[in-house]
Structure 1
Amino acid sequence: MPSDIALLARTAPLYDRVKRVIPAIEWPVFADDVDAILELKRRRNAVILAHNYQTPEIFHCVADVVGDSLALARKAMEVDADIIVLAGVHFMAETAKLLNPDKTVLIPDRAAGCSLAESIRPEDVRLLRQTHPGVPIVTYVNTSAAVKAESDICCTSGNARAIVEGLGVSRVIMLPDEYLARNIAAETDVEIIAWKGHCEVHERFSPREVRQLREDHPGIIILAHPECPPDVVAEADFSGSTAVMSDYVAVNKPPRVVLLTECSMSDNVAVEHPDVEFVRPCNLCPHMKRITLANIRQSLETNSHVVTIDPAVAVRARQAVERMLAL
């Protein structure tokens, strides 16, 4: 019992950060892993990069760097550590490894995948290049390193329009998210050839759901991720990446808001904005939820699972990511 009391006392400041979204009765379940992870990070000179879709006890209590795909890609190059643990899905861990080839990159669960990344293969990209010779291929970071290696440049939902327009061409191929490509096409004069990949989280939102939200919650502000179908984005008040949505809430302070994206995003933004009411008709990402405090701890204890990329693939994939970061 004394050790339990000491543990809860040590972790009390961390619980204070998340008490609005994690009931007090649940914290003792998390506290031991949180405490152990913090010690393992110190001992092993490790950092944890966590995506916005991670649960609050990961995002706010053990992560060193948090953000959307673009933020994690940029910050991955700046970390001063021997080990990077990626609390996210596999393509993010690969991206961290591409940008930090001399560091050990770990992913706590190899099965943390992505419906978008699995929707396209390198041979598909090669066939598209043959079908549309000379047309630049812009590939969403939600793809494998092997697919990135077949591309000209990468993008995220936060910088996709800037990347497409920054190429200075009239036509591009944009992979693999059809809805992101169509939403960007509506904002630019550049012709966009799209692939048929979809995010299993965002494709489930519907215009009818948006209209029902407005009926049930008069005055609500609705923010949609650009991976949502275009008719959903058209019904929303604002569309942007997870980072842009978070910034919108911080700047505009809407009294009541809904984020049409993955569930944990609302929890994580709500922690920072106690004066904003978050309505939560969200969808869970089963892949993101494979990452837990327990397997982050195990990853640091056992050095599992090490992310490796074929060197020949890595060189070409890194170029596509670095071209994005350069813009």
Structure 2
Amino acid sequence: MSIMDLVKADAMLPERYKAYSDQEMEEKIHAIKKELGTKLFIPGHHYQKNEVIQFADATGDSLQLAQICAANEQAEHIVFCGVHFMAETADILTTASQKVYLPDMRAGCSMADMADIFQTERAWMDLQERFGDTIIPLTYVNSTAAIKAFVGRHGGATVTSSNAAEIVKWAFTQKKRILFLPDQHLGRNTAYGLGVPLDHMAVWNPITDVLEYDGKDDDCQVILWKGHCSVHENFTVANIQNLRKSEPDRKIIVHPECSHEVVMLSDDAGSTKYIIDQIEAAAPGTKWAIGTEMNLVNRLIENHPEQDIISLNPLMCPCLTMNRIDLPHLLWCLESIVEGAEQNIIKVDDATSAEAIAALDRMLQRP
């Protein structure tokens, strides 16, 4: 989406929504939910702020929510409170008669945007010339529909932070090497956990079209796309070192989108669901420092007063693109549905959907 598109998208929100109080908007949203009943379904990602998540019919991570949407055949209107690639996945997995909406089209994902299809096609040509037909592509579900389709077209699969290790294992039974898109940190942490040495991993720089690698080509097992999550990269080694000095008894748990150095210095690492499960299962009074998105950390603090929970980075802010979904945009989206003048519909074309489904299916077929 261009800068002008973003400006236009912001200007589209009618002024009256900016004048409503929170209470007025909440009352209107409750009324619309009651009016539409089962025709409306609102999935809300874990990283959404509370003002939005209070209206979610289901909460979860991106793929989990898309699968819940696919199973809900009653819903005619799916208003996805997340970011663009999540709504794309929901559209891919739901029926043609269902409509998927994103309340604010500016709600993108910087990580997903770090791998566009033109860069990826160009990189694939260069890597095929260098390594031959020895590479299978994998993509984190935090990627665009076009990248999922690319991976599906070339025999690869999607991965989540929960199942990345199993999918990487499978990929190595298919080809000698993997290309891991678009998050280098999840790829590196996963491959290292499976025994791949760091010096057997290369990094593809899509800006310079250069493979950053000092080793022998024959030793290269993993090619990591030079992308990252702008939120999780803000957790640093210094954060951990400072905490170890001040509170050595506080347990540190982080998401695998954090850098390899941060993951290695932490006590534990895992997906969003894994982090939530660990907090819920812990004994009262357990002290935690969590390295993931701030809205989720704050919600865990609110929901688990029996635990002592802080953010690993005391200066961390919530995911800015996730936070574009707010009460005014949610209400505007819902009222446009009721008025028959729907806005911000997310639609993936049939050809892209078919290839993306192939990548998703290869993942879901794994044990």
TM band (smaller chain): 0.7 to 0.9
Q: Is the 8 A contact 1:129 1:135 kept in 2?
A: no
- Between the aligned partners of 1:263 and 1:29, the Cα distance in structure 2 is 25
Q: 1:124 aligns with which of 119, 125, 129?
A: 119
| 2:227 match | 197
Return closer, same or farther for 1:221/1:193 CA change in 2, 3 Å cut-off: same
Judged with a 3 Å threshold, the aligned counterparts in structure 2 of structure 1 residues 64 and 219 are, in CA distance, closer, same or farther, namely same
Partners of 1:237 and 1:63 lie apart in 2 by 32
When structure 1 is superposed on structure 2, of 236-245 and 158-167 the one drifting more is: 158-167
Asked if 1 retains the 8 angstrom alpha-carbon contact of 2:165 and 2:190, the reply is yes
Q: 1:255 aligns with which of 270, 279, 286?
A: 286
Q: Of 71, 76, 80, which aligns to 1:78?
A: 71
Match of 1:4 in 2: none
Matched residues in 1 for 2:167 and 2:318: separation?
A: 29
Residue 161 of structure 2 is aligned to residue 157 of structure 1: yes
Shift of 1:40: 1.5
Is the CA contact 1:68–1:241 (under 8 Å) kept in the aligned structure 2? Answer: no
Match of 1:318 in 2: 357
Superimposed CA distance per residue, residues 11-33 of structure 1 (whole angstroms, 9 cap, x where no aligned partner): xxxxxxxxxxxxxxxxx954432
Post-superposition shift, 1:123? Answer: 2.6
The worse-fitting range, judged by mean Cα deviation, of 254-263 and 44-53 is: 254-263
Task: Give me the TM-score of the superposition, normalised by structure 2.
Answer: 0.77
Match of 2:305, SS state, is coil
Q: Which amino acid aligns with 1:49?
A: P
Letter in 2 for 1:117: A
Contact 1:261 1:283 in 2 (8 A): no
Question: Are 2:33 and 2:40, in contact at CA under 8 Å, matched by a contact in 1?
Answer: yes
What is the identity, as a one-letter code, of the residue corresponding to 1:123?
F
1:24 match: none
- Structure 2 unmatched runs, 5+: 1-19, 197-220, 337-341
For this pair of structures, how many residues does the alignment match? 299
Counterpart residue identity of residue 183, structure 2:
D
The corresponding residue for 2:170 is 166
Residues of 2 paired with 1:108 and 1:207: CA distance? 36
Q: Match for residue 8 of structure 1? A: none
Q: Structure 1: which 5+ residue stretches go unaligned? A: 1-27
Aligned residues of 1:117 and 1:144 also touching (Cα < 8 A): yes
Query: CA 1:108–1:233 in 2, change beyond 3 Å: closer, same or farther?
Result: same
Between 1:39-48 and 1:137-146, the stretch displaced more is 39-48
1:71-121 CA-partner distances (Å, limit 9, x unpaired): 223222212311111111100010000001421100011111111111111
1:54 to 32, 48, 52: 48
Alpha-carbon contact 1:69-1:156 (below 8 Å) kept: no
Question: Is structure 2 residue 29 aligned with structure 1 residue 37?
Answer: yes
Residue in 2 that maps onto 1:244: 274
> Is the CA contact 2:25–2:331 (under 8 Å) kept in the aligned structure 1?
yes
1:10 equivalent in structure 2: none
Judged with a 3 Å threshold, the aligned counterparts in structure 2 of structure 1 residues 218 and 30 are, in CA distance, closer, same or farther, namely: farther
Over residues 283-320 of structure 1, what are the superposed CA-to-partner deviations in whole Å (9 max), with x where a residue is unaligned? 32110010112211111111321111222212211221
Q: Which sits farther off after the overlay, 161-170 or 224-233?
A: 161-170
Deviations 1:161-184, CA, capped at 9 Å, x for gaps: 111113334432110101111100
Distance (whole Å) between structure 1 residues aligned to residue 25 and residue 273 of structure 2: 28
Equivalent pairs: percent with the same residue? Answer: 34
